[in-house]
Amino acid sequence: MTSQGLWVRWVRWVGWGILLAPLAAQQNQNAPANFVKVSGPVIALTHVRVIDGTGAPARDDQTIVIRGRDIAEVGAASRVAAPAGATIVDLTGKSVIPGLVMMHEHLYYPTGPGVYGQLGVSFSRLYLAGGVTTMRTGGNVNGIMDVSLKRRIEAGEMPGPSIDATAPYLNGPSTFLQMHAVTTPEEARAHVAYWASQGATSVKAYMQISRAALKAGIDEAHKRNMKVTGHLCSVTFAEAADLGIDNLEHGFMPATDFIADKQPDVCPGQARGQQSVAALDENGAAFTTLVRKLVEKHVALTSTLTVFETYTPGRPSPPGLDVLTSQLQENFRRAQERVSRSADSIYKMLFAKDMALERAFAKAGGMLTAGTDPTGSGGVVPGYADQRQIELLVDAGFTPLEAITIGTLNGAKYLGRDARIGSIAAGKQADLVVLAGDPSRTIGDARKVDTVFKEGVGYDPAKLIESVRGQVGIW
Ligand SMILES: [Zn+2]
């Protein structure tokens, strides 16, 4: 037998897989190292403007010293020197804000009528590129994928934000092909218990859930130290607050509290709820009574203006469409045409009304958090939309500093993680977004992401985006 013959036999015997494995490891497309711009045991960001996320005014000419995963020191450049041997990054003219903590994200996207594609890999990269270092998935039609991605990212095997992974939706019978249906309290408890056992860390209830099932789901989740949010319809905001829910999604857009003939446990359709919300007076008793209840019961509210902007005629085209596949770009272009033709769209009034209601809720002491909700008819592109959501909070009447707090520290507080993330201070995790500009003056500068530090590692947004450009829709 020739030596070549032996070689062929050996290869057949051990298999190509083993021979190729070391090569595959070197070329692992998912390795976070492929996307790193700045790293080192000690990094000093010098001459940078610090917007710390607490709402405090911006401080110019600061030094931030990062050691390992954490911020070791922050202070005026005149006081805090870069330690000897540190990797120095001169950020003159630039700002840092805390990494965004966004509360209504998804790892799926509408890819066809009534169908949502699992885009977790490209989305994780886009979220991180956009400055999101922590996020909650606000509902899951991917089954185990949200949990798997959370684990893989935590293990350092893939780039992406830290994920609070919701279980698949807790919903009653509905027309959604990719949702479970629970009808009894026992089924609700079993759903929450099963997904908790699989690694889900939070729960999202949906439009057709019954009060009894929601209550059982909340109790089971709380027993396991998980929080529950909801995009509700069959259950009113006030009922959900009384049942112990922690959070409600989409501002006041889905509230059915103001429909005079609302039947218990029945969703009267989103349109009827929206008509009643559009007609609300933010100073009227009906609304202020609900707000008082939400504030007293510590129910947080998530603003997702980005998804509603895509439904509203006359609004600018959303950012980031060019990363989508050409098919999804075309799908969204058609959706935009339909929106622009709907002259009598309720969103013309509702979009501005919801902004006013969210502002009133926050002013009354309510905990407002931010998210994007990349669903609808498309066009809400992860990362880009997170920046847009912060801009839209400023459109809604918040100051830039308030909008940044809503998108950072408020989310961290909701998650119970504010001792570690959500603001910039010594001892906290080094989750930072470097921006070319000053978002405390011009909120649009939130789009100018230069570097995203997550746990002390600086990622390059351009590399993350280029790795998925034109393919978002496939994976
Ligand atoms: Zn959603």
- The reported pTM is 0.94
Backbone angles phi, psi at 61, to 5 degrees: 50, 60
Write down the pLDDT at residue 456: 98
CB atoms within 10 A of CB 97: 28
Give the pLDDT of residue 165: 98
Closest CA to 127 of 369, 395, 332, 371: 371
Residue 449, CA distances (Å) to 38, 271, 383, 434 in order = 14, 38, 10, 6
Give residue-wise pLDDT tens across range 311-347.
Answer: 999 999 999 999 999 999 999 999 999 999 998 999 9
Tell me how far the alpha carbon of residue 25 is from its chain's centroid: 30
How far is ligand 1, taken at its centre, from the CA of residue 105, in Å? 7
How many A from CA of 461 to the centre of ligand 1?
25
Q: Rounded to the nearest 5 degrees, what angle is found at the Cα of 375, between the Cα atoms of 372 and 381? A: 55
Q: How far, in Å, is the centroid of ligand 1 from the Cα of 371?
A: 9
CA of 104 to the centre of ligand 1 (A): 6
pLDDT in tens, 176-215: 999 999 999 999 999 999 999 999 999 999 999 999 999 9
Residue 437 CA to ligand 1 centre (angstroms): 31
CB 76 within 8 A of CB 50: no
Amino acid in the structure at residue 382: P
CA of 29 to the centre of ligand 1 (A): 29
Q: Which residues contact 75 (CB under 8 A, 6 or more apart)?
A: 62, 63
CA distances from 5 to 11, 14, 16, 18 (A): 10, 14, 16, 19
Give the model confidence (pLDDT) of 47-88 as tens digits. Answer: 999 999 999 999 999 999 999 999 999 999 999 999 999 999
Q: What is the DSSP letter of 472?
A: B
The number of beta carbons lying within 10 Å of the beta carbon of residue 462 is 13
249 Cα: distance to centroid of ligand 1 (angstroms): 8
H helices of 198-284, in order, are: 211-223, 237-243, 270-278
For ligand 1, the distance from its centroid to the CA atom of residue 49, given in whole angstroms, is 34
d(CA 102, CA 285): 31
Average pLDDT across the chain, whole number: 95
**Which residues neighbour ligand 1 (ion) by CB within 5 Å?**
138, 373
Distance (Å) from CA 447 to ligand 1 centroid: 22
Distance 354 CA to ligand 1 centre (A): 17
pLDDT (tens digit, 9 = 90+) per residue, 142-154?
Answer: 999 999 999 999 9
Alpha-carbon gap, residue 147 to 13, rounded angstroms: 36
Distance in angstroms (rounded) separating the CA atoms of residues 225 and 221: 6
Report how far ligand 1's centroid is from the alpha carbon of 367 (Å). Answer: 19
Ligand 1: centre distance to CA 121 (Å): 18
Number of other CB atoms surrounding residue 313 within 10 Å: 16
What is d(CA 335, CA 307) in angstroms, rounded to the nearest whole number?
13
pLDDT digits (tens, 9 = 90+) for 250-272: 999 999 999 999 999 999 999 99
CA of 176 to the centre of ligand 1 (A): 13
pLDDT of 411-432, one tens digit each?
Answer: 999 999 999 999 999 999 999 9
What are the residues whose beta carbons fall under 8 Å from the beta carbon of 84, sequence distance 6 or more?
none
Spatial distance between the Cα atoms of 442 and 451, rounded to a whole number of angstroms: 19
If you measure from the C-alpha of residue 11 to the centroid of ligand 1, how many angstroms do you get, rounded to a whole number? Answer: 49
190 C-alpha to ligand 1 centroid (Å):
23
* Cα 206 to Cα 230: distance, rounded to the nearest angstrom: 6
Q: What angle do CA 114, 388, 308 make, to 5 degrees?
A: 40
**Contact call for residues 273 and 216 (beta carbons, < 8 A):** no
Ligand 1 centroid to residue 255 C-alpha, Å: 15
